[in-house]
Structures are given as C-alpha cells and as structure tokens.
Amino acid sequence: MANLKEIRNRISSVSSTMQITSAMKMVSAAKLKKAQDAIIGMRPYAEKLNLLLENTITNLDDHSANKFFEQRPVKTVLVVAITSNRGLCGAFNSNVIKKANDISNEHNDKEVVLITIGKKGNDILTKNFEILSDNSSIFDDLTFESVSQLTQLLIDKFESGAVDKIQLVYNKFKNAATQIITEEQFLPIANYSSEVTTNQDYIFEPSARVIIEALIPKFLKAQLFKAIKESFASEHGARMTAMHKATDNATELRDQLKLTYNKARQAAITNEILEIVGGAEALKN
C-alpha cells in the first residue's frame, strides 16, 4: 500500500484536475448556448433556400446543363473535413478523421485530396493525404463573409475541372450529448427529383434559368456556412459532455483515494497503539 504522503499528493492532483474539468464544462456550456441559438436560427434560412432552389429547378426542362449540376466522370474527389482547433472533446475529431479515411477507401481507384477546417483534423490527415489548404483560422472570425471566400475556392476548383466531386464531412448538431457524423455532397449539386411538384404557379422575371444562376452561389455559401456552424455547436456539446464525464470520474477517483487514505491512516494509528501497549507491557515485566 502506498504511504500516506503519496496518497495525499494523488488526492491533491485529482482534485486539481476535477476543478479544471469542471471549469471547462461550464465554459463549454456557456459557449454551447450561443452556438446552439445560431444554428437553430440558421437552419430555417438554409432549408427555405433549398426549397426555393428546388421549386425553381422543377420549372426548367433541363437543369442538368447547368455547370453546378454537371455529373462528369469522377477522377478527383475533394473532401472538406471540418474538425476543431482544440481537443478534449471526446470522439468529435476522430469520427471526422475516420469518415475521411472511409471515403478515401471507397474511392481507392481515384485521387482523393482534402481541404481541412480545424487544426486537429489537419494535424492527423496531413500524414496520409494531400492537403490543398488548411483553413483552421476560420474559427478565429467565423462569419458568413469568411466562409464565402472558402466557398468561392471550392467553386473555382470544381469549375476549373481540378476536382470532379466535393464532399463535406462534419458533425451535425442534435443536442449537447449527441453529434451525428455527416457526409454531404457539396458539388455537383444532386439532381432534384422530377417528381417534385408545387401547388404554386410561379411567374419568373427575368427567367428561371437566370434566377438559378444567381441563386446557386448563395445556396452553396449557405450550405457550407451551415455545416461549419453545425460543427461548431457540436464541438462545444461534445466538450461539455466529455468534461462532465471527466469531472464525474475524477470525483469517483478522489473518493476512492480518500477511502484508501483513511484506511491507511487508521492502520498506522492502530500499529502505533499496539507498539505503545507492547512497550508498556514490556516495562511491567
């Protein structure tokens, strides 16, 4: 059994760890509330924009002629992996990294390149993949304008033919305890079903095709911004949950160490009493 000083040092160390994890949990909880409100407010806009694009496309005889819908032979796949800049958030980052590897295995006969958002993903994925650019600094100023610049880079890569398919990989926010790993096709835009109908008869001015040309870049920017916002909220939820579990584990370990310390201290006191009694008996004889 460890001596009393060693046990006291371990209790002190675990208590300090527990204070740190508890503080990190509270910080993440505060940040989560703000990030959750942002993504809840963003979702209706993104969904309405998608519905508007869908309804407009159904009025075209052939929307596949649009460059953003072009389904060409896939030679190069670009994966946009969205992770975080910081760790201590459970399996949040490792799930994205694993999904990126799975996509690479699915396209083992094609070239797979990556654009990373988040230092944690970039540090690991750069060992196995060609990283076209690292956009970890986007979290320093997460605005629609900064994301729009990255969206334009993706659009340029697709239009130039440098890549034939772009996939987003990120954690979708469900609640503080649950994040859903999501793979989403960014470009080319998936063809909408011709069976989609609407009860409203639209009159387009100037024309449906011109409107779609203007609408698609806005749709793509909103789609990427929403994905990053989803990941941002998921990160704080995952970290809050991880720090909550770490605090509980530290509390349990501290209680066990205190019990061990009390037992060791009681044994030491008992031994001292026995030695005193034994000495007194020896003096009597």
Give the chain's length.
285
Find all residues with CB under 8 Å of 176, minimum gap 6, and list them. 32, 237, 240, 241
Give yes or no: 6 in active site: no
Query: What's the maximum distance between 2 C-alpha atoms anywhere in the chain?
Result: 117
Question: Is 163 within 8 Å of 197 (Cβ atoms)?
Answer: no
User: To 10 degrees, what angle do helices 208-284 and 144-159 make?
Assistant: 120
**Which tokens sit at 162?**
């440098």
Region label for 88, one of left (φ > 0), alpha (ψ between -120 and 50) or beta (otherwise): left
β-bridge mates for residue 79, sequence order:
114, 167
Q: How far is CA 189 from CA 79, 137, 179, 216, 220, in A?
A: 15, 27, 25, 9, 9
Catalytic one of 89, 117, 222, 246: 89
Residue of 138, 103, 88, 96 lying closest to 121 (CA atoms) = 96
Say how many CA atoms lie within 13 Å of 53 toward its Cβ. 24
Q: Phi first, then psi: what are they for 207, rounded to 5°?
A: -165, 160
Which residues are annotated as catalytic? Answer: 89
